[in-house]
Amino acid sequence: MLMEQLKDRGLFVQRALIGGEWVEAASGAVLAVSDPADGSELGTIPACGEAETQAAIAAAEAAFPAWRARPAAERAALLERWHDLLLSHAGDLARIMTAEQGKPLAEAEGEVRYGAGFIKWFAEEARRIYGGIVPAPTADRRILVLKEPVGVSAAITPWNFPNAMITRKCAPALAAGCTVVVKPSELTPYSALALGVLAARAGIPEGVINIVTGLPHAIGETLTGSTSVRKLSFTGSTRVGALLMRQSSDTLKRLSLELGGNAPFIVFDDADLDMAVAGAIASKFRNAGQTCVCANRILVQDGIHDAFAARLARAVSAMQVGDGRKDGVSIGPLINAAAVEKVRAHVEDALSLGAKRVVGGEAGFDPARFVAPTVLTGANTRMRLANEETFGPVAPLFRFRHEAEAIEIANGTPYGLAAYFYTENLHRAWRVGERLEFGMVGLNTGSVSMEVAPFGGIKQSGIGREGGATGIEEYLETKSFHMGGLKQA
């Protein structure tokens, strides 16, 4: 039992959080939550719908005036307490996450610390919400620029980062003076609910954070259709993001959408190969490849292709697959059977179109829940894995001859979230970095996500930015305040 593994059993909650109360669905209906490593039931959550979502919106709306009126320093202090509680309970939060999501415990604890970083960052940003003064055209006028919270904000979060995607959305909202309604993935709700427990312990007032669990359709439609919800932030697929955008159009909501990716990972012939292999492992196989910014297409220049492939294959062969709670495991289960089927379909399609499997197999673990880390050579742009997000531990290698060809292949996608490239040539670094059509570009690194920098994509990968100095702006309105008729002495 998950409860028995926790030092603080109060973190495991199976109810929704509305207006400071832990509640069941009015209908009494529940959804089961399963462990992806073995399919066992972890517990249930309320199958909330329109009524519960409206109640959460009303609670957030009622809490908004007092929360926005609190001095920024007080909001910051409460966020700091929330941050500290995440860190002091990191072990339990990681155990909850691994149980419901599957990632190895070390990765889960890393996510907790990463997620806490957003709370810390935006607690500090709360004190730096600056307006301005505009020089007036006449002597009797003064013009001020004020920053004010947007209002009630909704956050719809994914299953692959069930802790950090909530803190990345809620922390700037709360810092700005907004209240929130969170709809976590029904596959991984317990991480979200544990965050709600710790927020209450930190002293964040009732109604400021509300967490509604259940199936996405009814909750999403209620959030997007509400005129009380002024802002919506969503992380997930481009298809669902476009649907939410359409549903939000009648109420003209502010939107932040972090959507699908198809990240290229380019290795030029002047790259440090050891560094490039390490970066590819970190980018591609983190969370078993179930990240929106993971390397989906690995492009390697002709002259070093075989050497890079051999080193990558050796590194991948050493990876251990299994239950994320076991020591030494680096690749956990995929989230569900549909995810496994999609990854296998991508591999089979690639093999049928000429790819060669260098590493990968199914021996030693449950093939219905796990996919072996796989390296394919001979990939080409006709394959599904070149054009769709695989979302699994499969590394396809594409050959290219020259820089222009690599850029053409990399940009040949409607998505534009993240891209990576490795080179030791300063001139090439500038050229390629500027020509890649992606919202985030990593040079000689396999990581582009941290709380201090803006995160987001272009093209069909989304709208808006999370994190960094601009992240709080997504939750602020700009008001021009004109003062006229001022008498001169």
Vertex 161 angle, CA 189 and 461, to 5°: 120
Structure tokens at 385: 């894995």
* Strand ordering across the sheet containing 356-359: 356-359, 374-377, 394-400, 295-301, 263-267, 418-422, 440-443
124 is catalytic: no
Are 290 and 392 a contacting pair, CB within 8 Å? yes
Alpha helices by DSSP H, 262-393 = 273-285, 302-317, 337-352, 384-387
CA of residue 262 relative to chain centroid, distance: 15
Buried b (16+ CB within 10 A) or exposed e, 34-50: bbbbeeeebbbbbbbbe
Question: What is the rounded distance in angstroms from the CA atom of residue 339 to the CA atom of residue 337?
Answer: 5
Are 102 and 197 a contacting pair, CB within 8 Å? no
DSSP H or E stretch at residue 116: helix 105-125
Are 150 and 176 a contacting pair, CB within 8 Å? yes
292 is catalytic: yes
Structure tokens at 357: 């499997």
Question: What is the rounded distance in angstroms from the CA atom of residue 33 to the CA atom of residue 321?
Answer: 22
**Which residue shows structure tokens 């409860």?**
3
Q: Which is catalytic among the residues 100, 111, 186, 258?
A: 258
Are 475 and 176 a contacting pair, CB within 8 Å? yes
Q: How many CB atoms lie within 10 A of CB 141?
A: 14
Question: What is the rounded distance in angstroms from the CA atom of residue 393 to the CA atom of residue 443?
Answer: 22
Q: Which is catalytic among the residues 170, 292, 451, 474?
A: 292
C-alpha to C-alpha distances, 436 to 212, 275, 307, 417, 433, nearest whole angstrom: 39, 21, 25, 10, 6
Q: What 3-state DSSP class applies to 297? A: strand
List, in sequence order, every beta strand (DSSP E) within 150-261. Answer: 152-156, 180-183, 209-211, 229-235, 254-258
**Which residue shows structure tokens 């976590």?**
184
Question: What is the rounded distance in angstroms from the CA atom of residue 28 to the CA atom of residue 282?
Answer: 43
The residues that are catalytic are 258, 292
